A and B are shown apart, each in its own frame.
Chain A
């Protein structure tokens, strides 16, 4: 009996020591990036079996907060880090924050498929979402009548305020000096936004292009009334003709360790770019 216990203990120890050879890189943040980061991590297991990436979401703010608190190796963000966050990180960890642009994303604005609308100008979007905007019913936007939507009311689906998508959307639509209107449905994930809009005829929502599915209708966006209406696609995001496209970032605290650096470099390889496109994102331009 005792011998059996010893054997089991030995096996457990062996299992543990085998585990500890694998380096775990903590990778956390943006909900927009989480799908892509996971796809990359999955593939990277085959490239370098000694490194495992622990990917989790929570929002860009969550990732950057974790970077400031020093609890992650790589923070994912769908918005650029703010100057004061950089300072805080420097104060807390004593290291400078390093920025890596790992991809691009077009922010799609989408509606229920039964909504006949096909495009919006930035101004109309601001009228719907912005503080002080008076567009509360669909008939105020290009006289749209939405079948199945009671009172033609616009149901704004938005994101929680630590989301990089939220902050980028606010800046792209309203500039740096205007808030989004309160009273929107502030969901905590892109997937949930899509799910809700899919089931709600009155709704309008936004998320990274990678989350789009055929059960919602993505709108084309016009910079102004006389500009062409551009649909969110990989091409229009790369050539920047789509008005709301943005960079996706990964941040490290100080210079990345060799393993982290190797991974970040790999994300810009051709194989990683293939994965990027397959996941619905846009590869970063080679620098």
Chain B
């Protein structure tokens, strides 16, 4: 302890010397980091530009606003009349995303509460690893589970003709977005200062009361952001929903009917049309639509996170 005190005055001088010596390398590193930071913005703009460029000839050409948004018939390979109506696909996307979030958000947030507040440190570590393992399963495997396991289960449990439907896809998506919701939600709960918990406990609050009356309001924004990031995850998933929804073009009358999503449509059909064809461009128009939807979702998530910090 004493030695440190005696050495203390020489330290700043040492630093100054080192700083002068490393001035150039520091500058290089600094600018590299700057480039790294800006590059992500450039990528986003480049992606948007690319999508716009590919979709543009369709938007000014064969694009029919009324058909695109109000027709339920998406039939690019028709031999009678080619139609690009996205209504059924859009409704399918919204239904799948909404239902999956209805399942995943309460579950994920409850799970985040459990991990951060209620379980022992040892259990917490194993638990977190297990939850994160869910995120490591490839989506094709999820799709296979949807067809081979959940499909017959839904047919039997609910006595319906087909088990590849909105419910099936929502279950799969809920499981897939759970790890994200849990880990972001847990971070939000950990960010609540320890003094809040201590103060509440000092006043005689039970653990349950601390969680529901103190932590929930304090971490509200962060938890909302976790939910919205989950929405983004569910919205963007491709392969698993392609297999689990049944990929049928129709407006699902209930959660037990098959449907189709925007992402799955692009995934299944983009390889088909030669580059630059009308169908290819129409798929990019769908891509643009998805880009705008996910932008709105991410923007609101970001807004909520910033709201928390204020």
Contacts and interface: CB of A to CB of B under 8 A. Distances in A.
Given A68-B274, A179-B79, A195-B147, A188 B268 contact: yes
A58 B147 CA distance: 19
Given A149-B161, A177-B79, A200 B151 contact: yes
Contacts of B271: 58-59, 61-62, 65, 162
Contact of B155 (A59, A65, A200): A200
How many A residues touch the partner, as a band?
35 or more
A68 B275 CA distance: 9
Q: Is the interface of A mostly helix, strand, loop or mixed?
A: mixed
A167 B78 CA distance: 10
A269 B269 CA distance: 35
B76 A185 contact: no
Interface stretch (B61-69, B111-119, B226-234, B245-253): B245-253
B148 interface: yes
Contacts of B30: none
A178 B80 contact: yes
A188 B249 CA distance: 14
How many B residues touch the partner, as a band?
35 or more
Contact of B77 (A151, A162, A188, A195): A162
Nearest to B72: A182
Given A160-B268, A199-B147, A185 B258 contact: yes
B163 interface: yes
B161 A155 contact: yes
A240 B118 CA distance: 70
Interface string A201-215: 111000000000000
Nearest to A63: B271
Interface in A157-191: 160-162, 166-167, 170, 176-179, 182-188
A189 B295 CA distance: 32
A192 interface: yes
A150 B78 contact: no
Nearest to A175: B79
Contact of B159 (A64, A85, A150, A199): A150
A200 B147 CA distance: 10
Interface of B: 73-80, 147-148, 151-152, 155, 159-164, 242-243, 246-250, 258, 260, 268-269, 271-275
Shortest beta-carbon contacts, A-B, top 8: A162-B272, A161-B77, A62-B271, A183-B250, A61-B272, A202-B161, A185-B246, A153-B161
Given A150-B155, A186-B247, 11 more contacts: A61-B273, A62-B271, A148-B155, A162-B271, A182-B248, A183-B250, A185-B164, A185-B258, A186-B249, A186-B260, A200-B162
27 contacts: A58-B271, A61-B271, A64-B274, A69-B275, A149-B161, A150-B160, A150-B161, A151-B161, A162-B268, A162-B273, A166-B77, A170-B79, A177-B80, A178-B80, A179-B75, A179-B78, A182-B75, A185-B258, A187-B247, A188-B243, A188-B247, A196-B147, A196-B151, A199-B151, A199-B152, A199-B163, A200-B163
